[in-house]
């Protein structure tokens, strides 16, 4: 069925998976799973399964890329060939190259790069299974991995994507809602500083709906930030990582 | 292309920041005033549609080529649209030949997003034999000279080239596609217009020049369509923006975009 025509939300305001318009999918975060990495984090967000790992600060190779006054932050967002329905060519696509760039630009404002001159900090984000909103889930995990690596940071970075399905603003689109809906708006924020470090928009939004989706993404991002804190707590102080639950819809 | 070695003298940058605090710019433009825009169409007769756009000293040529192709599996009854391009090595001392840089890829993808998401091209009208053959519209751009704000200059060139593109009519006979001699326009419905801002100090300026881009810490591009709706946005550079400033930029993009749309419509009549 063509974009915009599939019924993604019913008269009662229930989405296909039973969520209300402003509900997130279940999220699970775990910190410190990649043994060799200086820091790592794993996120399950809906059907997304994403591992992020950080190496550094380390020596910069090739040397001509050295920055005299700060660390060079490198970031790669990559999708495994088996992460989607049709096998994805493992070579980096134009989409992945763009996402790697905006992801780096979303994370860098939170990293105190000036504390590590002449070094490289590498962030590797591997999407093992993809289900819509993978860039914001990747950023959420990557900032935890940076914190786990003990890199000095001004804040965590947390992402959430909002958008429109059947002309209605909703939070956290899954794969089908992204493909058959009317638009997607990934947003990443530095929650304590109240700043936005990633904003991309597609789909047609009136000025009102643009603001509604944007503000919803910020609000939902703050919700995910609470889970990020708990995941760090669980890693360092033995607390319990919280998992959000979605209520089942009555048949 | 990386402009990180582009030098703006410290004294000039200080002057720029000082002027901006008073709401003024080095080239005497208002903060929300783009540079002079010139749009010429039909510059490459061999292309199905073409345009040469200058925005200040930034110059871009875009050309459209139409062909038949195989549809994507998830959209078997829709034509194919592709926006792609190159920042030519001749365009700047900082440009290089070779595979496209992440910056060039981002540029092409942001322009593509504006065209695609505004539903400018009626892709549903470009289907010939569903699942087998559809019409592909390729719009390629060449950046000829770089003087800042490639996002908008490329976007205007691509939109003007697509708006003036004509193609030979295809017809389907006995499950075969034939080309007729009849010439028809490429089905265009909308005129998306991007407006790019640079933030220097705390101020947002529209249509940054090269020296303004070299002094900015954040960039945001907001594309609107004819109804004044936002259809694409991209924040760039390793920096942040406040939520208030995003909404402020959206309001300016809607207002300034309206004037630019009138210019493009006039030039592509």
pLDDT of residue B137: 97
Give the tokens for residue B77: 């009854």
| Cβ neighbours of B244 in A, within 8 Å | none
Q: Does A87 touch chain B (CB under 8 A)?
A: no
Task: Please check whether residue B193 is in contact with residue B223, taking contact to mean a CB–CB distance below 8 angstroms.
Answer: yes
The pLDDT-based confidence of A241 (bands split at 50, 70, 90) is low
User: Whole-angstrom Cα distance, residue B241 to residue B235?
Assistant: 9
Cβ-based neighbours of B27, under 8 Å, separated by 6 or more: B35, B209
Task: Please check whether residue A226 is in contact with residue A220, taking contact to mean a CB–CB distance below 8 angstroms.
Answer: no
Task: Please check whether residue B42 is in contact with residue B165, taking contact to mean a CB–CB distance below 8 angstroms.
Answer: no
Q: From the list B225, B235, B250, which residue is nearest A204 (CB)?
A: B225
pLDDT of residue A240: 62
CATH topology of domain A27-237: Ribosomal Protein S5; domain 2 (3.30.230)
The pLDDT-based confidence of A247 (bands split at 50, 70, 90) is very low
Give the tokens for residue B137: 């519209």
pLDDT of residue B57: 97
| Nearest chain B Cα distance for residue A240, angstroms | 32
Q: From the list A108, A201, A207, which residue is nearest B233 (CB)?
A: A201
- Kindly list the domain boundaries of chain A, sorted by start residue: 27-237
The pLDDT-based confidence of B5 (bands split at 50, 70, 90) is confident
Question: Per residue in B160-208, pLDDT tens?
Answer: 999 999 999 999 999 899 999 999 999 999 999 999 999 999 999 999 9
In which residue are the tokens 């605090």 written?
A: B21
Residue B87, strand partner residues? B143
Report chain B residues touching chain A, CB-CB < 8 A: 73-75, 77-78, 102-103, 105-106, 108-109, 113, 116-119, 124, 220, 222, 225, 227-243, 246-247, 250-251, 254
CATH topology of domain B28-268: Ribosomal Protein S5; domain 2 (3.30.230)
| Cβ neighbours of A109 in B, within 8 Å | 238-240
* Parallel/antiparallel/unpaired status of strands A119-129 and A72-79: parallel
DSSP H or E segment with residue A44: strand A39-45
| Nearest chain B Cα distance for residue A188, angstroms | 10
Is residue B50 scored above 90 in pLDDT?
yes
| Nearest chain B Cα distance for residue A107, angstroms | 8
DSSP H or E segment with residue A232: helix A207-237
Q: Is the peptide bond before A5 cis (omega within 30 degrees of 0)?
A: no
In the DSSP assignment, the letter for residue A153 is B
pLDDT of residue A109: 98
For the residues B148-157, what does the mean pLDDT come to?
98
- Kindly list the domain boundaries of chain B, sorted by start residue: 28-268
Q: Does A210 touch chain B (CB under 8 A)?
A: yes
| Nearest chain B Cα distance for residue A251, angstroms | 30
User: Whole-angstrom Cα distance, residue A153 to residue B108?
Assistant: 32
Question: Cβ of A109 and B239 within 8 Å?
Answer: yes
pLDDT of residue B6: 85
pLDDT of residue A6: 81
Is residue B85 scored above 90 in pLDDT?
yes
| Cβ neighbours of A203 in B, within 8 Å | 117, 231
The pLDDT-based confidence of A248 (bands split at 50, 70, 90) is very low
Helix (H), strand (E) counts: chain A: 4, 9
Average model confidence (pLDDT) for chain B?
95
| Cβ neighbours of A73 in B, within 8 Å | 238
In which residue are the tokens 């190159």 written?
A: B86
- Can you list the alpha helix ranges (DSSP code H) found in chain B? 10-21, 102-117, 150-163, 210-213, 243-267
| Cβ neighbours of A102 in B, within 8 Å | 106, 234-236
- Local structure of A65: helix, strand or coil: helix
Is residue A124 scored above 80 in pLDDT?
yes
Cβ-based neighbours of B168, under 8 Å, separated by 6 or more: B179, B180, B181, B182, B183, B184
The pLDDT-based confidence of B259 (bands split at 50, 70, 90) is very high
The pLDDT-based confidence of A4 (bands split at 50, 70, 90) is low
| Cβ neighbours of A199 in B, within 8 Å | 220, 233-235, 241, 246
Question: Cβ of B230 and A201 within 8 Å?
Answer: yes
* Parallel/antiparallel/unpaired status of strands A195-205 and B230-236: antiparallel
A&B contacts, CB < 8 Å? 109
Question: Cβ of A214 and B247 within 8 Å?
Answer: yes
Report the chain A residue with the minimal C-alpha distance to residue B229: A206
Report the chain B residue with the minimal C-alpha distance to residue A204: B231
Nearest C-alpha neighbor of B81 from the set B162, B156, B153: B162
User: Whole-angstrom Cα distance, residue B215 to residue B26?
Assistant: 12
**Cα–Cα distances in Å, from B79 out to A162, A184, B64?**
28, 22, 14
| Nearest chain A Cα distance for residue B105, angstroms | 6
**Cα–Cα distances in Å, from A144 out to A65, A100, B6?**
26, 17, 35
Nearest C-alpha neighbor of A126 from the set A99, A153, A94, A157: A99
| Nearest chain B Cα distance for residue A192, angstroms | 12
In which residue are the tokens 């899954």 written?
A: A174
Cβ-based neighbours of B182, under 8 Å, separated by 6 or more: B168, B169
User: Whole-angstrom Cα distance, residue A45 to residue A158?
Assistant: 13
Q: How many other CB atoms sit within 10 Å of the CB of residue B83?
A: 25
N-term to C-term CA, chain A: 25
Does the model's ipTM exceed the 0.90 cut? no
| Cβ neighbours of B231 in A, within 8 Å | 201-205
In which residue are the tokens 């200059």 written?
A: B153
Q: How many other CB atoms sit within 10 Å of the CB of residue B88?
A: 17
For the residues A23-35, what does the mean pLDDT come to?
96
- The model carries a pTM of 0.92
User: Whole-angstrom Cα distance, residue A54 to residue A144?
Assistant: 10
| Nearest chain B Cα distance for residue A8, angstroms | 18
| Cβ neighbours of A196 in B, within 8 Å | 235, 240-243, 246
For the residues A63-92, what does the mean pLDDT come to?
96
Least confident of A8-12, A73-77, A88-92, B79-83: A8-12
Question: Per residue in A184-225, pLDDT tens?
Answer: 999 999 999 999 999 999 999 999 999 999 999 999 999 999
- Local structure of A96: helix, strand or coil: helix
Question: Cβ of B236 and A105 within 8 Å?
Answer: yes
The pLDDT-based confidence of A243 (bands split at 50, 70, 90) is low
Is residue B254 scored above 70 in pLDDT?
yes
By percentage, how much of chain A surpasses pLDDT 70?
A: 93
Task: Please check whether residue A133 is in contact with residue A46, taking contact to mean a CB–CB distance below 8 angstroms.
Answer: yes
pLDDT of residue A249: 46
CA A218 to the chain's CA centroid:
13
Task: Please check whether residue A205 is in contact with residue A216, taking contact to mean a CB–CB distance below 8 angstroms.
Answer: no
Question: Cβ of B230 and A94 within 8 Å?
Answer: no
**Cα–Cα distances in Å, from B94 out to A204, B7, B58, B244?**
36, 11, 14, 34
Give the tokens for residue A95: 């989409």
pLDDT of residue B168: 96
Task: Please check whether residue B51 is in contact with residue B41, taking contact to mean a CB–CB distance below 8 angstroms.
Answer: yes
Looking at chain A from residue 23 to 42, which residues have their Cβ under 8 Å from any Cβ of chain B? none
Question: Per residue in B6-18, pLDDT tens?
Answer: 889 999 999 999 9
The pLDDT-based confidence of B3 (bands split at 50, 70, 90) is confident
Report the chain B residue with the minimal C-alpha distance to residue A65: B4
Task: Please check whether residue B236 is in contact with residue B106, taking contact to mean a CB–CB distance below 8 angstroms.
Answer: yes
């Amino acid at each position: 069925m063509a974009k915009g025509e599939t019924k993604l939300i019913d008269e009662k305001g229930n989405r296909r998976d039973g969520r209300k318009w402003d509900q997130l999918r279940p999220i699970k975060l775990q910190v410190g799973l990649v043994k060799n990495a200086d820091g790592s984090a794993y996120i399950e967000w809906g059907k997304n399964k994403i591992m992020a790992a950080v190496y550094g600060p380390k020596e910069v190779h090739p040397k001509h890329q050295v920055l005299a006054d700060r660390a060079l932050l490198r970031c790669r967002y990559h999708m495994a060939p088996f992460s989607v329905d049709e096998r994805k060519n493992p070579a980096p696509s134009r989409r992945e190259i763009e996402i790697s760039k905006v992801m780096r630009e979303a994370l860098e404002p939170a990293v105190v790069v000036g504390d590590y001159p002449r070094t490289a900090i590498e962030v590797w984000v591997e999407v093992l299974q993809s289900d819509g909103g993978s860039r914001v889930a990747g950023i959420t995990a990557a900032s935890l991995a940076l914190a786990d690596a003990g890199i000095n940071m001004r804040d965590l970075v947390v992402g959430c994507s909002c958008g429109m399905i059947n002309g209605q603003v909703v939070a956290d689109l899954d794969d089908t809602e992204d493909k058959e809906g009317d638009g997607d708006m990934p947003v990443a924020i530095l929650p304590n500083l109240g700043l936005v470090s990633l904003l991309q928009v597609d789909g047609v939004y009136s000025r009102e709906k643009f603001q509604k989706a944007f503000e919803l993404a910020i609000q939902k991002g703050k919700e995910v930030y609470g889970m990020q804190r708990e995941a760090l707590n669980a890693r360092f102080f033995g607390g319990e990582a919280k998992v959000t639950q979605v209520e089942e819809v009555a048949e | 292309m990386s402009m990180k070695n582009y030098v703006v003298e410290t004294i000039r940058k200080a002057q720029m920041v000082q002027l901006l605090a008073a709401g003024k710019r080095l080239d005497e433009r208002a903060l929300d005033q783009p540079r002079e825009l010139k749009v010429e169409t039909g510059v490459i007769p061999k292309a199905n549609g073409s345009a040469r756009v200058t925005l200040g000293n930034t110059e871009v040529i875009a050309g459209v080529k139409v062909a038949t192709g195989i549809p994507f599996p998830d959209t078997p009854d829709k034509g194919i649209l592709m926006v792609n391009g190159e920042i030519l090595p001749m365009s700047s001392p900082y440009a290089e030949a070779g595979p496209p840089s992440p910056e060039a890829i981002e540029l092409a993808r942001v322009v593509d997003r504006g065209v695609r998401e505004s539903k400018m091209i009626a892709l549903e009208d470009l289907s010939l034999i569903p699942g087998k053959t559809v019409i592909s519209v390729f719009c390629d751009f060449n950046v000829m000279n770089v003087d800042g704000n490639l996002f908008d200059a490329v976007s205007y060139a691509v939109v003007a080239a697509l708006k003036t593109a004509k193609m030979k009519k295809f017809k389907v006979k006995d499950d075969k596609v034939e080309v007729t001699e009849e010439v028809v326009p490429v089905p265009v419905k909308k005129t998306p217009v991007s407006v790019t801002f640079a933030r220097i100090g705390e101020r947002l300026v529209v249509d940054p020049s090269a020296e303004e881009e070299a002094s900015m810490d954040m960039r945001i591009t907001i594309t609107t369509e004819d109804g004044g709706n936002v259809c694409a946005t991209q924040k760039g550079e390793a920096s942040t923006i406040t939520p208030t400033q995003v909404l402020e930029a959206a309001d300016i993009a809607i207002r300034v975009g309206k004037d630019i749309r009138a210019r493009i419509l006039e030039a592509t009549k």
